[in-house]
A and B are shown apart, each in its own frame.
Chain A
Amino acid sequence: MKAFRADPELFRSRREQGDRADLSVDGLTLRFGGVVAVNDVTLRVRTGEFLSVIGPNGAGKTSLLNCITGYYRPQEGSISFNGRNVTHMHTHELVREGIGRTFQNIELFPGMSVLSNLLLARHIHYRYGFLPAALFFPSARREEVRHRRIVEELIDFLEMQSIRHRLVGSLPYGLRKRVELGRALALEPKLLILDEPFAGMNLEEKEDMVRFLRELHGEWKRTIVLVEHDMSIVMSLSERIAVLNFGEKLAEGTPGEIQDDPEVTRAYLGPSEEG
């Protein structure tokens, strides 16, 4: 496996803060009018873990992620991250806390290059003030170069060297998904949340993505929450799986336990398939 060859100096900022990423969601409920998108869900993610959340369409997976990342406001329940109550934090504050994500329906900056997209994700890591930047002091230049090097490491890792100057809007779907992963990584999140990163990809692209996620979890020790419909991928990557159905948590366990769970089979195949 291709080990990530990042210069350790570059990623010092991340390691100084430590990699702790303990998430706990307690009794979370989110309603849209009459629709209960998330219903009394309790979930734990521990540091270094690879957790997948699965469930049929409309089960509330994206809604759950949107609550965790501050896009939706749950009506009941609480979310805490590394011991801090983050239930009512805004998205941009949660990013600083160390929660980064990708979106189910790609949310990139289409008019900008791959490079600019990734540099934007460095926003919270810049140290220079407004004036040194406006006058482009040597300190500002040095810092721009430093972030550029970090971003280039990620571009190498994700094998995107040849497209770094391409406009994101002109890239095929599979590559955009990869750019989005790169952008999430450039945030240097402690907790990486991925909403269907494999959707719409062909087999080769899926293989690449699996390889990247393996390395991120294995070598990098990233804590990852994955939402995905492709069961073979979920089963091979995850350490633990949570199953949602109609907003409720139906089951939770290792891939083996989930595969053998009759309730999960019923949720997926529908009651009519039984007997």
Chain B
Amino acid sequence: MARLQFHPCGNYRESYGEELRIFETDYGRAALLAGLVLLFAVVPFISSAYFLYVINLAGIAVIGAVGLNILIGFTGQISLGHGAFIGVGAYGAAILATSLHLPLFLAVPLAGCVTAAVGMIFGIPSVRLKGLYLAIATLAGQFIIEYVLIQWEGLTKGTMGIVLPQATLFGLPISGDRGFFYLIFALAVFMTWTAKNLFRTRSGRAFMAIRDNDRAAEGMGIPVFPYKLLAFGISSFYAGVAGALWAYYTMSITPEPFNLDLSIEYIAMVIIGGLGSITGSVFGALFISGLNEILRSLFDLLTNLPLLQGMELNPAALRQFVFGLAIVLFILFEPKGLAEVWRVVRSNFRLWPFSY
């Protein structure tokens, strides 16, 4: 029982319970534990305010990307509306916090639930539509939600936006980037772990069955349509929590950021990270968030070059170009994404220093 396993060069497990573990070896668990200690005990104290801001946004993206991968990568239901669902979460939290004066610990999960409900409504077309047609239907959802966020001024204050109150948790104010770091990453780690659990238990397996063969899934006693809706609900719940955190963190929100670009950014995260891999979604989110910042600095640099002074450079176009290129390159050269790269690197190292 207490036997430690370090080298997965052979399968020496002794019970089925051991096979249910997320990590194949105790080495993997130890590495994760060390990583978490590093993340929570070291990173917030050695990072500059700017860097902390960047990784906070990346942490929010992790939650959103894990959610989208549950829908696209694990259930096979393409959604182009994830950006709008994040907006629903952001507005949900903002409205709950300002109109109903709900505290953060209620507003964030409730915003997640509201978004889950909205996501399930926009998931209804999946009863008949698959693949490209479903993608178009969710694209319509994206535009409808954007429209509502701008036009329903009574609720969303339209393009004026909403200013959120100071975030507090059980009376303690969450202040500054470091305070939010703990909130965001506690939730990101917890929700990633929950997603991992989902796919070693019944409902997650049902999602994958629907992705692989919905006729056969039905023959296993899985009611396909309710499970598709459940996948939309869970995925949107993640989006809603991500949006709610985003709203609290930035303190004021407008409809503008929750557009199709954001949806595509999230699709880039799950494709680059690896479809159908929770770990991959984390990598993808970190990768795209990092790329975003690099592009921002690069853009500042370019606009200051005297050579390019006369040109009308557009940051949005540059980002779209680079994201598009990254997606294409990954689909061509590593369709299983960063998750696969990570797996290969690990398996090369795991017998180190005695590799074959």
Contact = CB atoms under 8 A, between A and B. Distances in A.
B199 to A, nearest CB: 10
Interface string B196-233: 01101111011011001101111111111000000000
Contacts of B333: none
Given A130-B203, A136-B200, A109 B208 contact: yes
Interface in A129-175: 130, 133-136, 140-141, 144-145, 148-149, 152
Main SS class of interface, B = helix
Interface string A101-131: 1010001111110001001110110101010
Contacts of A144: 16, 20, 200-201
Contacts of B212: 109-112
B194 interface: yes
B222 A92 contact: yes
B154 interface: no
Contact of A119 (B198, B205, B219): B205
Contacts of B218: 71, 90-92
A69 interface: yes
B198 A69 contact: no
Contacts, number: 95
A96 B221 contact: yes
A66 B218 CA distance: 13
Contact of A126 (B17, B202, B209, B223): B202
Contact of A136 (B197, B216, B220, B221): B197
B97 to A, nearest CB: 26
B19 interface: yes
Given A107-B219, A148-B20, 14 more contacts: A92-B223, A95-B219, A95-B220, A109-B208, A109-B209, A120-B220, A120-B222, A123-B205, A126-B202, A128-B201, A133-B203, A134-B197, A134-B198, A136-B200
B298 to A, nearest CB: 39
Given A107-B216, A133-B202, A123 B20 contact: no
B206 A120 contact: yes
Interface residues of A, number: 38
Contacts of A112: 208, 212
A203 to B, nearest CB: 28
Contacts of B206: 120, 123
Contact of B213 (A96, A101, A108): A108
Most A Cβ at <10 Å: residue of B203, B218, B224: B218
The 9 closest A-B pairs by CB, nearest first: A95-B221, A133-B201, A124-B221, A109-B212, A107-B216, A148-B16, A136-B197, A91-B218, A126-B202
A96 to B, nearest CB: 6
Contacts of A183: 220
A187 interface: yes
Contacts of B209: 109, 120
Contacts of B221: 92, 95-96, 123-124, 187
A85 B198 CA distance: 36
B17 A145 contact: yes
Nearest to A101: B219
Contacts of A107: 213, 215-216, 219
Contacts of A69: 219
B207 to A, nearest CB: 11
Given A91-B218, A123-B220, A109 B213 contact: yes
Contacts of A116: 205, 208
Nearest to B214: A107
Contacts of A124: 220-221
13 contacts: A92-B219, A95-B220, A110-B212, A111-B208, A111-B212, A120-B217, A123-B222, A124-B220, A133-B198, A136-B201, A145-B20, A148-B16, A149-B16
Contacts of B201: 128, 133-134, 136, 140, 144
A183 B208 CA distance: 16
Nearest to A107: B216
Given A90-B223, A111-B212, A120 B16 contact: no
Nearest to A180: B216
A133 B205 CA distance: 12
A133 B213 contact: no
Contact of B16 (A121, A140, A145): A145
Most A Cβ at <10 Å: residue of B19, B208, B220, B222: B220
A187 B217 CA distance: 12
B222 to A, nearest CB: 6
B109 to A, nearest CB: 13
Given A95-B219, A109-B208, A134 B224 contact: no
A141 B17 contact: yes
Interface in A224-264: none
Contacts of B197: 133-136, 140
A177 to B, nearest CB: 14
A148 B201 CA distance: 11
B192 to A, nearest CB: 12
A128 B219 contact: no
Contact of B216 (A90, A108, A111): A108
A149 B322 CA distance: 49
Given A92-B223, A107-B215, A107-B216, A152 B205 contact: no
